[in-house]
Amino acid sequence: MEKIRIGIFGLGRGENLIDSLKVNGGEIVAVCEQSEKKIAECKEKIGDAAVYTDFDKFIEHPMDAVLLTNYFAEHAPYAIRCLEKGIHVLSECTSNGTMAQGVALVRAAEKSNAIYMLAENYPFMLFNKEMKRVCDGGTLGRILYAEGEYNHPFNMYDAEACATLAPDERHWRNFLPRSYYITHSLAPIMYATGSVPVRVTAMPVANEIPADCFTARYVNDAAAIITTLNSDGSVFKVTGCAGLGAHSNSYRICGVNGQIENIRGMGEKIMLRYNSWQIPEGMQEVNCYDPEHSPEDAELAKNAGHGGGDFFVTREFLECIRTGKKPPFDVYFATTMASVAILAHRSILNGNQPFDIPDFRKEEDRVKYENDHSTPIPFSDGTDPDIPCNSRPCTPTELQKENYRNALEKYAK
Q: Tens digit of pLDDT for each residue in 50-78?
A: 999 999 999 999 999 999 999 999 999 99
Is pLDDT at 399 greater than 90 in this prediction? yes
Burial 279-296 (b: 16+ CB within 10 A, else e): beeeeeeebeeebebeee
Query: What pLDDT is attached to residue 113?
Result: 97
Query: What pLDDT is attached to residue 175?
Result: 98
Give residue-wise pLDDT tens across range 181-217: 999 999 999 999 999 999 999 999 999 999 999 999 9
End residue of a domain, out of 62, 97, 118: 118
Is pLDDT at 129 greater than 70 in this prediction? yes
- Same domain as 222, residue 74: no
- Same domain as 107, residue 145: no
Give residue-wise pLDDT tens across range 274-315: 999 999 999 999 999 999 988 878 777 776 655 678 999 999
Residue 170 lies inside a defined structural domain of this protein: yes
- Same domain as 141, residue 100: no
End residue of a domain, out of 118, 139, 169: 118
DSSP code at position 257:
S
Residue 303 lies inside a defined structural domain of this protein: no
Query: What pLDDT is attached to residue 295?
Result: 80
Question: Domain range spanning residue 242?
Answer: 127-296+331-369
- Same domain as 275, residue 257: yes
- Same domain as 93, residue 131: no
Number of domains forming the structure of the chain: 2
Give residue-wise pLDDT tens across range 263-283: 998 889 999 999 999 999 999
CA 381 to chain centre: 22
- Same domain as 181, residue 108: no
Which range has the worst mean pLDDT, 5-19, 38-52, 285-299?
285-299
Contacts of 294 (CB under 8 A, 6+ apart): none
CATH assignment of the domain containing 139: 3.30.360.10
- Same domain as 278, residue 181: yes
Query: What pLDDT is attached to residue 208?
Result: 93
The proportion of the chain whose per-residue pLDDT surpasses 70, expressed as a percent, equals: 98
Residue 396 lies inside a defined structural domain of this protein: no
The CB density around residue 230, as the number of other CB atoms within 10 Å, is 21
Preceding amide of 375 cis, omega within 30: no
Query: What pLDDT is attached to residue 304?
Result: 66
- Same domain as 255, residue 178: yes
Range 130-147 average pLDDT: 98
DSSP string, 134-186: HHHHTTT-SEEEEEEEEE----TT-HHHHHHHS-STT-GGGT--TTTS-HHHH
DSSP 3-state of 8: strand
Q: Alpha-carbon distance 166 to 169, whole Å? A: 7
- Same domain as 214, residue 89: no
Q: Alpha-carbon distance 151 to 245, whole Å? A: 8
Query: What pLDDT is attached to residue 232?
Result: 98
Give residue-wise pLDDT tens across range 326-353: 999 999 999 999 999 999 999 999 999 9
- Same domain as 183, residue 61: no
Contacts of 221 (CB under 8 A, 6+ apart): 177, 178, 204, 205, 206, 207, 390, 391
Helix H or strand E encompassing 249 = strand 248-255
- Same domain as 133, residue 36: no
Q: Of 143, 154, 150, 138, nearest to 262 (Cα)? A: 150
Give residue-wise pLDDT tens across range 205-260: 999 999 999 999 999 999 999 999 999 999 999 999 999 989 989 999 999 999 99
Average pLDDT, the chain: 95
- Same domain as 174, residue 70: no
Range 357-367 average pLDDT: 98
Q: Alpha-carbon distance 255 to 124, whole Å? A: 21
CATH assignment of the domain containing 14: 3.40.50.720
Intra-chain end-to-end CA distance of the chain, in Å: 41
Residue 412 lies inside a defined structural domain of this protein: no
Helix H or strand E encompassing 9 = strand 4-9
Is pLDDT at 21 greater than 80 in this prediction? yes
Q: Of 36, 23, 14, nearest to 318 (Cα)? A: 23
Residue 394 lies inside a defined structural domain of this protein: no
Contacts of 32 (CB under 8 A, 6+ apart): 7, 8, 9, 10, 51, 52, 53, 54, 55, 58
End residue of a domain, out of 85, 118, 151: 118
3-state helix, strand, coil in the chain (%, to 5): 35, 20, 45
Q: Alpha-carbon distance 155 to 110, whole Å? A: 43
Query: What pLDDT is attached to residue 218?
Result: 97
Q: What is the pTM of this model?
A: 0.96
Residue 410 lies inside a defined structural domain of this protein: no
The residues with which 271 forms a beta bridge, in sequence order, are 261, 288
